[in-house]
Amino acid sequence: MTTARIELPPKLVPVFQGEARYRGAYGGRGSGKTRTFALMSAVHGYRCGMAGEAGQILCAREHLNSLDRSSLEEVKAAIRSVPWLADYYEVGEKFIRSKDGRIRYVFAGLRHNIDSLKSKARLLLCWVDEAEAVSEIAWRKLVPTVREEGSEIWVTWNPEHKHSATHRRFRENPPEDAKIVPVQWYDNPWFPSVLDRERLEDREKRPDQYAHIWEGDFATSFEGAYYALALADAERDERITDLRPDPLMETRAYWDIGGTGARSDATAIWVAQFVGTTIKVVDYYEAVGQPLIAHVNWLKDRGYSRAVCVLPHDGGNAEKVYATTYQGALNDAGFSTIVVKNQGAGAAMQRVEAGRRCFGSIWFDRVRTEAGRDALAHYHEKRDDKRNIGFGPEHDWSSHAADAFGLMCLAFLNNTTKSDWSKPLKRGLGSIA
């Protein structure tokens, strides 16, 4: 029997030893994790093929508009670097498959193709690269799709935020049958000198980004982030501090509605008081998949039982599980409610612009709004860097907090021009243009 030798960064060797359902690595640039997982995916396919197994290796990312943005070239380069793998695989311009016909690579984006993956032939392995952006909904759909006996799921990513679905699923609360490790540039024995020059330049000229890019720390700022500078200004101006609601002022809870299903979006609530030309944001709440009663109980437990609940336009629609409206249920729970009318096309950017206009007038409670401020720091524009085109806000985990925040800011701006925003409210039905 011939033994083949594969060289890997020592930190990653234990990840591929023995059996595991999940294997993964996370860290900064230059760690060698992507090249290593590309190489080991080809080794995995070789082992399966030589054992007589037939199936597919799925290389996935959250967004994949073309093969140019896929892991195709990484896998090709890895295969060509090992003679016996190059002998086993046929590598074309847009495909990789074994010469014996047993193994075939498939490249797909999860955002728009997750449901179609269920119809794919037997999946031996799914490797998700750049996995930071993968949503919890996508993970919930993907995992049972890779269901063959002995199949594996591999995950590689550069961390950005502690609230990302990937961080929560694979670092904060990893599966029992998982081998996942951090790996950085200094763990890569083949770290190239050209990258080291870039690293040192980033450390000198871009120190605020260095730890995230090279050391695998969470990002503190994002390209295209709508509120990053405004949050920094609020910190500098000491508007992030210890706040308490004024018992003599009206309190309002601004909602972005999620749902109760297992695959629902998050429900987000900002609790604020408008005091003259100032917005005092005293609390923030977010929950995924919880029934409305959980949100109601949170408001009451925190002392906001008399808060006016301001809902987006879908607050008047029937909730999918209980066939009632959020507005009606909140009225039944004793809350006054307002449903804001549909703002139509461009609503997301209207909320962003309202947030930018208001930010200099906003004060935050440091402790109770931390999670919401984290979301605002992440909320950013979706861009096509090749064409230098922006597509408006990226819809991800931070969108729900940002949408409710924008609703609050629109309300504040309307409060200065429309009398019906400032009139005392009766308990029951209300709506605002």
The pLDDT tens digits of the residues spanning 384-432 come to 655 556 567 888 888 999 999 999 999 999 864 333 443 433 333 333 3
Per-residue model confidence (pLDDT) at position 208: 66
Global pTM exceeds 0.85: no
Answer yes or no: is pLDDT of 167 > 50.
yes
Among 74, 61, 142, 146, smallest CA distance to 109 is for 61
Give the other-Cβ count within 10 Å of 360's Cβ: 13
Per-residue model confidence (pLDDT) at position 319: 47
Answer yes or no: is pLDDT of 156 > 80.
yes
d(CA 1, CA 420): 83
Q: Work out whether strand 55-61 and strand 123-128 pair parallel, antiparallel, or are unpaired.
A: parallel
Per-residue model confidence (pLDDT) at position 416: 42
Per-residue model confidence (pLDDT) at position 228: 80
| CATH number for the domain whose boundaries are 228-432 | 3.30.420.280
The fold of the 10-207 domain, in CATH, is Rossmann fold (3.40.50)
What does residue 318 show for φ and ψ, rounded to 5 degrees? Answer: -70, 130
Spans of all domains in the chain: 10-207, 228-432
Average pLDDT over residues 32-39: 96
Report the chain's mean pLDDT, rounded to a whole number: 85
Whole-number percent of the chain with pLDDT over 70: 84
d(CA 146, CA 315): 37
pLDDT in tens, 109-127: 887 666 666 656 689 999 9
Find out whether 404 and 268 touch, Cβ atoms under 8 Å: yes
Per-residue model confidence (pLDDT) at position 432: 34
Whole-number percent of the chain with pLDDT over 90: 58
- For residue 44 the two structure tokens come to 């995995």
Give the H or E element holding residue 66.
none
Answer yes or no: is pLDDT of 304 > 90.
yes
